[in-house]
Structure 1
Amino acid sequence: MMHVDDAPQIGQIAFVLRGKDEGGYAVIIGIVDNRFVLIADGDKKRFDRPKKKNIAHLVLQSVVSTEVADSMSETGRVTNAKLRYAIQKFVQAKGE
């Protein structure tokens, strides 16, 4: 896990403020532009059908899953299991 600045990054964990996934965590798997990102949680939002989300509706966490980031940079994709694992690991580390 690495810590990051304000710009969203691939593999970064985000808390969802709006929409169906409100109150849950997801992982950024794509950057659309400076306002939108693609998120997936490996469960309801799978890698192959990510949600396009306005960054304003997310609270970016200061954690980037290196597993997800590495997988995305090496192969351009990531397994849903890896996304679920990254979120689970983050939530456990936070002690929620």
Structure 2
Amino acid sequence: MEAFPEWGRLVKVLRGKDQGGCAVIIGIVDDRFVLIADGNKHRFDGPKKKSLLHLELLPVVSSEVADSMRETGRVTNAKLRFAIQKYNERKGE
């Protein structure tokens, strides 16, 4: 299954200061760049613009984040943190 960038998709950062960390796609700039946020260092109001080449798209889409983005165009930082935490817990099992 080919993962593609979309709202709510979790990503692993492969390059840069946040290398190794997880984040959630909250915006798509064009076919090469997306906006990511993790709810802590990069909050919804100050997302990080990142090249898709520097991200690993994970096979997980947070329905809470995607639904919130579709309905209101925003998502809370708590929801972003929750989505990442839930992924990390599932990965750890």
**Aligning the two structures, in what range does the TM-score lie when normalised by the shorter sequence?**
over 0.9
- Which amino acid is 2:27 matched to? G
Aligned residue in 1 for 2:22:
25
Which of 25, 40, 43 does residue 43 from structure 1 map onto? 40
1:10-37 residue CA offsets vs partner (Å, 9 max, x unmatched): 1000000111111100000000011000
Runs of 4+ in 1 over 6 A off after TM superposition: none
Aligned residue in 1 for 2:3:
6
Unaligned runs of 5+ in 1: none
- Take 2:60 and 2:3, find their aligned partners in 1: how far apart are those partners? 11
> How far 1:6 moved relative to its partner?
2.8
Which of 62, 65, 70 does residue 67 from structure 2 map onto? 70
- Take 1:59 and 1:17, find their aligned partners in 2: how far apart are those partners? 7
Normalising by the residue count of structure 2, what TM-score does the alignment of the two structures yield? Answer: 0.96
Matched residue count: 93
- Take 1:89 and 1:5, find their aligned partners in 2: how far apart are those partners? 22
Other structure's SS at 1:85 match: helix
Unaligned runs of 5+ in 2: none
Q: Is the 8 A contact 2:3 2:58 kept in 1?
A: no
Other structure's SS at 1:88 match: helix
1:62-89 residue CA offsets vs partner (Å, 9 max, x unmatched): 0000000000000000000000000000
